[in-house]
Amino acid sequence: MATARIYQTATPLNSGKVLVTGGTGSSGYLASAELYDPSTGIFSPTASMATRRDGHTATLLDGGKVLVIGGVGSSGYLASAELYDPSTGIFGPTGSMTTGRYLHTATRLNGGKVLVIGGLGSDGYLASAELYDPSTGTFSVTGSMATGRNGQQATLLDDAKVLITGGIGPSGYLASAELYIGAGLEDSKVFGVSR
């Protein structure tokens, strides 16, 4: 890469290239981004984000844009989000989350929305979750997990539920797991304990 970095993201694009965003380097939090082209094995610069951040997420949306969410920057935990458009190579604004969060997960659901779960915020380990709707560019609050956690994994299952595993919470490292059931699945319950 052109810039040494840690806590960055790397997101495969529909073109086959990989978008690398942000992180922390020798100069501090980074706003820079790069594209890796597997056909040449070369990294090249692309436009920078509006906000320097690390510990964020970068999720490929159904339309091919990349949603960059949250993380931490010089002002603390970030609620802001940006959209990268591969056709222009530019980051643009979109709505912000209701809660700044770091080391959270962002999972694209079958309907195209993105489920943002947990992380670390100004209130500590977060149990809260939000949904991003690409059609409106807005975030809305959805149900909360039973346990606040960050550094967890979130996996979309074949039945459209999302399995949340592990992480760290107020009691330490977690072996627990939860299921995001989601609107329209089973009953009105949003999160449930995985058995």
* CA proximity to 77, closest of 132, 129, 120, 135: 120
- Residue 114, Cβ neighbours under 10 Å: how many? 22
pLDDT tens-digit map of 155-185: 999 999 999 999 999 999 999 999 998 754 4
Q: Is the pLDDT of residue 187 over 60?
A: no
Q: Is the pLDDT of residue 114 over 90?
A: yes
Residue 186's pLDDT is 45
Three-class SS of 6-61: ECCEEEECCCCCEEEECCEECCEECCCEEEEECCCCEEEEECCCCCCCECCEEEEC
Q: Is the pLDDT of residue 149 over 70?
A: yes
Give the Cα separation of 26 and 4 in Å (integer). Answer: 8
Mean pLDDT over the full length of the chain: 94
* CA proximity to 47, closest of 61, 64, 66, 62: 66
Residue 195's pLDDT is 52
Q: What is the pTM of this model?
A: 0.92
Q: Which residue has the higher pLDDT, 143 or 96?
A: 96
Q: Domain ranges for the chain, please list them.
A: 1-96, 103-195
pLDDT tens-digit map of 2-26: 999 999 999 999 999 999 999 999 9
Q: Is the pLDDT of residue 188 over 60?
A: no
